[in-house]
Amino acid sequence: MKTRLIAHRQVSAIGLGGMPMSIEGRPDAARSVATIHAALEEGVTLFDTADSYHVHSDEVGHNETLIAGAIGSWGGDTSTVLVATKGGHLRPGDGTWTVDGRPEYVKQAAEASLKRLGGDAIGLYQFHRPDPAVPYADSIGALRDLLDAGTIELAGISNANPEQILLAREILGGRLASVQNQFSPAFRSSESELRLCDELGIAFLPWRPLGGILSAAALGDRFPAFQTVAAARGVSPQVVCLAWHLSKSPHVIPIPGASRPESIRDSVQAAEFTLTPEESATLDAA
């Protein structure tokens, strides 16, 4: 597995997003564990989760607990695995999503995530989504305090615009390790954030890179250019799509969600798949 950097941490060029294994329509635990083990077997060392990846209000941190348990039960070496989690986004249990960016809450959420994940510090902790009721600088100040206290090893932000990226970088004293924004063939409005991260040397983690768990299977139908390249090269449109992400910048690390072993096994092929400049241009224009 080829690798890329999040700050000083070397991780697999393709990560695994855990959200589909814990929200509505989630599979049984055995299949989820098998998916995580398959990822580890393929060399995946970046796992993305959040305390809000759950369904019911009494199971906050469901996905964190699932991922930590599966990694712990795998028989191989997990010393280089980086688990990235997020806080500041909540699910009250009625199907809605809410936000809470108060510094005291962000710190409380991080401490709770650390207990679920285990270890001395959270590998990468990301402020999940801006809270309109709280000054962004105050929320990021909580990340700075968590870094200084050693509760988290690396700090990141999610769903941020360029101004917020620059502000977070300033407040964290240059220690902003990652930005996690939605980016895919269907959703390209984060191109400016991707370019900024490339200029600053900050890891950019595209979430929903294949268009989401309900749309990923139809990617080739929705975007024929990806299907055309895939057919010519003998791979799936999903592999082409992830390779397209990787081609955009050496700082891009896609985190496709998966809930089946075969899905992540297919996705990791993108790390070894190189698009020609002509193919990349065609896909950019699709």
Active-site residue 53, yes or no? yes
Residue among 53, 105, 125, 136 flagged as catalytic: 53
Q: Which of 246, 242, 251 is nearest to 199 (CA)?
A: 251
Torsion of CA 126, 116, 112, 151, to 10 degrees: -60
Q: Which of 29, 121, 106 is nearest to 69 (CA)?
A: 29
The rounded distance, in Å, linking the Cα atoms of 261 and 212 is: 17
Which uninterrupted H or E stretch holds 156? Answer: strand 152-158
Tokens at residue 100, please? 């809470």
Sign for the pseudo-dihedral over CA of 10, 208, 85, 104: positive
The rounded distance, in Å, linking the Cα atoms of 56 and 58 is: 5
Q: Which residues are catalytic?
A: 53
